[in-house]
Amino acid sequence: MRILHIDTGVEMRGGQHQVLLLLNALREAGHESLLLANSKGLLWEAARSDGFPVFAAEAKQAWQQSRTAAIVHAHDARAHTMAAIASRRKFVVSRRVAFPVRRSLASVWKYQRAARFLAVSQFVAGELQTAGIRAEKIDVVYDGVGVNTSAEPWSAAYPAVALSSTDPEKGRGLVEQAASIAGIPVVFSDDLVEDLRRASMFVYITRSEGLGSAALVAMSMGVPVIGSKVGGMTEVFADAVSGVLVENEPSSIASAMRRILDDSAFAHGLIEHAKSRVEERFSKRHLLEGTLASYGRALGA
């Protein structure tokens, strides 16, 4: 099958990492992919480096390149608009964000145009249904994990790691306050995989979340995770079993931090259960199979 993917992001965030992971998984399964991407974006270079044909994310290219594709996959809101306007084939849309769908006439039109939606979590699927999308048009396809490396053996001497994000939704200030209360150093990371190699925990605090693919990376690498009890994050791990869910307030976060550092048996239990959960629900294979199943339903509709 030949698939045209569209992603308009500039940064290499969770969504872009998932696009690249999916492109490689599809190729390994014998499918052909080409990508329309932002020519100034990091995904443009990453996909080209992996040997994929990449073209500018423009309506003209969507019109031309969709001509020979079996299906079009839009990976963000702008890509969705582009596919709705210019695709010559059926298209599916990945929905990753937790905030409600807009109700404008233009939004209603483009959502009606999509053949199917791939929601990154049950929570996001619920938001789509609230916006009037029929449940039978929605598939829940969780993110996959493509990191093939592990952290060093766990040690309480390592610092906590959190994302270095200026996004006000991501709660950096809460992490800083909690770390001060708990007396724990924090590394705010721009290179997550590298910094997680020597981390006592990964702290993912956010005011809204579709799923939380960064938490999945930490879980797969063997790093205990603390995450906000919001949105799709509650589907990532079972509280106090494969991770720790917290309220978005400093004392709750600090308490979870201290519990992990002060109870090594608890920390090691989180690590083992988290690895099993990733293998059971969030593997690259699950991402591939779920996506292909959605393509099949779209083409059969």
pLDDT in tens, 83-105: 999 999 999 999 999 888 887 88
Q: What is the CATH number of the domain that holds 34?
A: 3.40.50.2000
Q: Are residues 131 and 239 in the same domain?
A: no
Residue 33 lies in a domain: yes
Between CA 35 and CA 2 the distance in angstroms is 11
Q: What is the CB neighbour count within 10 angstroms for residue 169? A: 14
CA angle 137, 143, 216 (to 5 degrees): 150
Q: Are residues 76 and 90 in the same domain?
A: yes
Please state, in angstroms and as integers, the Cα–Cα distance from residue 75 to each residue in 80, 119, 259, 278, 282, following that order.
7, 11, 38, 22, 18
Strand partners, 181: none
Contact 179, 185 (CB under 8 A): yes
Q: What is the CB neighbour count within 10 angstroms for residue 159? A: 15
Confidence of residue 148 (pLDDT cuts 50, 70, 90): confident
Query: What pLDDT is recorded for position 103?
Result: 78
The model's pLDDT over 46-97, given as tens digits with 9 standing for 90+, comes to 999 999 999 999 999 999 999 999 999 999 999 999 999 999 999 999 999 9
Q: Are residues 95 and 138 in the same domain?
A: yes
Confidence of residue 124 (pLDDT cuts 50, 70, 90): very high
Residue 150 lies in a domain: no
Query: What pLDDT is recorded for position 31?
Result: 99
Between CA 213 and CA 192 the distance in angstroms is 11
Query: What pLDDT is recorded for position 197?
Result: 97
Contact 203, 253 (CB under 8 A): yes
Mean pLDDT of all residues in 261-274: 98
Mean pLDDT of all residues in 154-170: 91
Q: Are residues 105 and 217 in the same domain?
A: no
Contact 230, 207 (CB under 8 A): yes
Q: Are residues 75 and 168 in the same domain?
A: no
Q: Are residues 43 and 118 in the same domain?
A: yes
Mean pLDDT in the chain? 96
Mean pLDDT of all residues in 100-126: 92
C-alpha 21: how far from its chain's center?
11
- pTM, full prediction: 0.94
Give me the domain span that covers residue 259. 160-281
Please state, in angstroms and as integers, the Cα–Cα distance from residue 265 to each residue in 8, 156, 268, following that order.
44, 11, 5
Q: Are residues 193 and 118 in the same domain?
A: no
Contact 115, 84 (CB under 8 A): no
Q: Are residues 266 and 289 in the same domain?
A: no
Question: In a 3-state reduction of DSSP, which class is residue 262?
Answer: helix
Instruction: Check pLDDT > 90 for residue 237.
Output: yes
Q: Are residues 293 and 264 in the same domain?
A: no
Q: Tell me the percentage of the chain whose pLDDT exceeds 70.
A: 100
Residue 154 lies in a domain: no
Q: Are residues 135 and 188 in the same domain?
A: no
Mean pLDDT of all residues in 180-204: 97
Q: Are residues 195 and 251 in the same domain?
A: yes
Residue 17 lies in a domain: yes
- Per the structure, the count of domains in the chain is 2
Instruction: Check pLDDT > 90 for residue 273.
Output: yes
Residue 153 lies in a domain: no
Confidence of residue 169 (pLDDT cuts 50, 70, 90): confident
Instruction: Check pLDDT > 80 for residue 180.
Output: yes
Runs of H (alpha helix) within 29-76: 42-49, 59-65
Residue 57 lies in a domain: yes
Residue 151 lies in a domain: no
Query: What pLDDT is recorded for position 146?
Result: 82
Read off the tokens for 163.
């994302």
Q: Are residues 134 and 184 in the same domain?
A: no
Closest by Cα among 17, 16, 65, 4 to 220? 17
Query: What pLDDT is recorded for position 71?
Result: 99
The model's pLDDT over 136-147, given as tens digits with 9 standing for 90+, comes to 999 999 999 987
Residue 9 lies in a domain: yes
Please state, in angstroms and as integers, the Cα–Cα distance from residue 137 to each residue in 74, 124, 132, following that order.
15, 13, 11
Instruction: Check pLDDT > 80 for residue 128.
Output: yes
